[in-house]
Structure 1
């Protein structure tokens, strides 16, 4: 069975597999608070899609598991140490600059104060989100949260 691909901004043709483009594996954390809000951060200046809002995370380094990468990335990007990592969903996104497989994980416990160590901004949001623009690979996640009844103020 072929993996569904979200094609963004004229990315490569995705109808017949992934072609010759290498797939970059990315760990993504959905930090979920008990009030049903979740954390979004802006992409820092100097990165592709700077200023777009997304869930924090980053690329897996050689030999890293999704959980290991997520723990490292969230310490490096936002200064928190996370508790249990709950793998949730995956999505393959074909951006013009890269083909990425996003491994989304829910996180309900963490320690440390949020620090935007890459100069990014952050917001605690609910669906529908009030920040814009949203990184294309993040849009399906917001839909999934809404379908599950999560991330809406006062509802579960």
Structure 2
């Protein structure tokens, strides 16, 4: 196994689950790596922030919502060409507001029980998150 020698970017990702058994995916906007790919919302954890604080800030910026709580799902790492990321993935069931694309991004509510999301392509790191979520809730 090859050891990572690149800097690690810490990222908080939040899987929003609604009462209908659907989760939210957002499309990466133009100008970002992997523009047009679909992902779980979130972003970089700033110095001094907890995962929850980063999630709260990122989802307010991206979706205009205020999360009230989260549940840790999984921590995973992925080596993208532009960055080596450690993703702290949480499930979010409780928030105030209605999600909207504050950065002009499209988003899609996807049924958890579907074999695969209706939107493509998904970021490679999104697949293990969704597999873990489905296994947990099965």
Q: TM-score, normalised by structure 1?
A: 0.83
Distance 2:73 2:133 in 1: 11
Large movers: runs of 4+ above 3 Å:
none
2:74, 2:132 within 8 Å by CA — same for their partners in 1? no
In the alignment, which residue of structure 2 is the partner of 1:18?
4
1:101 aligns to 2:86 (yes or no):
yes
Q: Deviations over 1:55-110 (max 9, x none)?
A: 10000111111110000000001100001111110110000111000000001011
Matched residue count: 135
Distance 2:117 2:27 in 1: 13
3-state SS in 2 of match to 1:136: coil
CA-CA distance at 1:143 after TM superposition: 1.7
Distance 1:52 1:45 in 2: 10
Q: Which blocks of at least 5 consecutive residues in structure 2 are unaligned?
A: none
**Cα RMSD (Å) of the superposition?**
1.1
Q: TM-score, normalised by structure 2?
A: 0.93
Distance 1:40 1:70 in 2: 15
Specify which of 124, 131, 135 is matched with residue 136 of structure 1.
124
Q: Which blocks of at least 5 consecutive residues in structure 1 are unaligned?
A: 1-14, 151-155
